[in-house]
């Protein structure tokens, strides 16, 4: 899963691969390259984390 937290006007994602590897990426709020679905490395479901709740975004 990709988990994003909006922090300092950027999104920080932790990408967890199927083999258990973890890496961080910083992206700015305009998300244009993440699509719903799977790649061979990362499940591209996006969860936007706020301080109050988890909101699952539907990426079209």
Q: Which residue has the higher pLDDT, 17 or 37?
A: 17
Query: How large is the greatest C-alpha to C-alpha distance in the chain, in angstroms?
Result: 32
DSSP state of 19: T
Q: pTM of the predicted model, to two decimals? A: 0.21
Which helix (H) or strand (E) segment holds residue 27: the answer is strand 22-27
Torsion of the alpha carbons at 16, 22, 26 and 30, rounded to the nearest 10: -10
Give mean pLDDT, residues 10-15.
53
Q: How many domains does the chain have?
A: 1
CA-to-CA dists, residue 12 to 23, 48, 55, 59, angstroms: 10, 10, 15, 17
- pLDDT class of 49 with cuts at 50, 70, 90: very low
- Residue 51 domain boundaries: 2-57
> What per-residue confidence (pLDDT) applies to 7?
41
Q: Identify the pLDDT of residue 18.
A: 61
């Amino acid at each position: 899963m990709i988990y994003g937290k909006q922090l300092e006007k950027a999104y920080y994602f932790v990408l967890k691969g199927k083999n258990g590897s973890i890496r961080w990426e910083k992206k700015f709020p305009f998300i244009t390259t993440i699509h719903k679905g799977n790649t061979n490395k990362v499940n591209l479901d996006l969860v936007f984390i706020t301080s109050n709740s988890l909101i699952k975004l539907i990426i079209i």
